Amino acid sequence: MAHARFEFGYFLKATTALVALAGGAASPAFAQSSEPIKIGVIAEVQSIAGAATPGGAQIAADEINAKGGVLGRKIEIVSYDNKSSSADSVRAFQRAVSDDKVAAVIASYISEVVLALEPWAARLHTPLITPGAASNEITRPIHDDYDKNKYTFHGYLTSSEQAQAVCDAAKDLLVDGMKMKTAVIVSEDAAWTKPLDAGYEECLPKVGLKVLDHIRFSPDTTDFTPIFNNLEAKKPDVIITGISHVGVQPTVQWKNQQVPIPIFGISAQALSPTFWSDTNGAAEGIPSLAFATAGTAVTPKTKPFAAAFKARFGTDPAYTGYTAYDEVYIIADAIKRAGSTDADKMVTELEKTDYVGTIGRVEFYGRGDQFTHGLKFGPDNISGMIFQWQDGKQVTVWPAKIADGKLKYPSFARPTN
């Protein structure tokens, strides 16, 4: 869910404000003797999720600076547009460290980009946190060669954990709530969906959904008619998705063709505040796993941040806005505890992170855990939520403790059970 490369009309009002944060533009200079502490933000600023990354980071920096900064120094966000390119991201990372002297880098929601940056974080001894990439492979090098790769932190749930979150929700909403029994897995062919699909195949049967088929398609697919026709012949109770590079096209075709199968799972583009208008309302009934939405108080910090983002940029934040906001605070707190921007001291303190942010309680797995430096997953930390587009709004339907509505599908896709 962490890697969509989509570009829509999101920027009518927000583009100027958000993209102004990119291309190396930094926050205003401050009259003080100490040099600012610079945090680099490498993002896909021409996409919805990417533009939210420097926006969320800047709001956090401004809040911290308004309270005196860190160690008597201001936080300065230096932002770079990576154009959704691994090569451009690497060049930006090198520039951030060598020329702009950043203390840490927040980078990308595309797994392939983060995987390309990880060796450079090791070579240049610079802490790196992703606000949205999901691939399990991000944490593997840290676990396998800690001393070399300890500078990277995975600031989003791994694909395996996201699969488990979807299965947990499916048990409550689909199996217990709607008496569903069968499913098909439909995912785009990308680095992040390989462990996601493996997780689906393992946990869906455990919660009571027999997997009838597993389809992986190219992210370049434009016509989903053959896929939908194939699925209809199998008569599953639900389609479980793992998509982010696409989203609008299959959603529009699902509605236009009146595909008689409900959709569930992960649709990262649906997290965009403009998804309803991008699909001309075809999003009605589309749910997705998320970790925060503007209308849901996941923590006491969620709604205030979303309101601040909208006041500044004219739109609700995409998902990386929440995580980038949290990550600036996490980095700043680590620097404060370390009393320094020394990379190794920062890593030591980042490993001790225990911070309640906009998406939940943030802690990182330790050196001996499978997902070293990954976010801890579970009810006491980050466990996710399911929202569904209903009447033009993102309505939270799971878990019950924060839900403000119930899961319901359009009549053409309504379960018959």
CB 327 within 8 A of CB 375: no
Into which CATH architecture does domain 11-157+298-362 fall? 3-Layer(aba) Sandwich (3.40)
Handedness of CA 132, 394, 236, 171 (dihedral sign): positive
Residues forming CATH 3.40.50.2300 domain(s) in the chain? 11-157+298-362, 160-290+384-413
Give the model's pLDDT for residue 7. Answer: 35
Which are the contacts of 396, defined by CB distance < 8 A and separation ≥ 6?
293, 295, 296, 385, 386, 387, 402, 403, 404, 405
Q: What is the pLDDT of residue 117?
A: 97
d(CA 72, CA 49): 32
Using DSSP's 3-state secondary structure scheme, residue 348 falls into helix
DSSP for 125-181 reads T--EEESS---GGGTHHHHHSHHHHTTEEE-S--HHHHHHHHHHHHIIIIIIHH---
Average pLDDT of span 364-383:
94
Q: 218: pLDDT confidence band, cut at 50, 70 and 90?
A: confident
219 has pLDDT over 70: yes
User: Is the pLDDT assigned to residue 401 strictly greater than 80?
Assistant: yes
d(CA 304, CA 297): 9
Tell me which CATH homologous superfamily contains domain 160-290+384-413. Response regulator (3.40.50.2300)
Crossing angle for the helix pair 193-207 and 159-170, to the nearest 10 degrees: 30
**Residue 305 · residue 282 · CB < 8 Å:** no
**Distance (Å, whole) CA 153 – CA 167:** 25
Listed residue (116, 146, 40, 70) closest to 329, CA to CA: 70
Share of the chain above pLDDT 70, in %: 91
Q: What does the alpha-carbon distance between residue 217 and residue 193 come to, in Å, rounded to a whole number?
A: 11
Model confidence at 312, pLDDT cuts 50, 70, 90, reads: very high
21-35, 126-140, 300-314, 391-405, range with the lowest pLDDT: 21-35
Task: Quick: pLDDT tens for 328-337.
Answer: 999 999 999 9
Q: Over 60: is that where the pLDDT of 31 sits?
A: no
- Weakest mean pLDDT among 41-50, 59-68, 277-286, 402-411: 41-50
SS3 29: coil
Output the average pLDDT for the chain.
90
pLDDT at residue 11 greater than cutoff 50: no
pLDDT value at residue 25: 45
Examine the pLDDT at 15 and tell me if it is beyond 60. Answer: no
> How many whole angstroms separate alpha carbon 239 and alpha carbon 213?
10
Interval 95-100 mean pLDDT: 96
**CA gap 223, 229 in Å, rounded:** 11
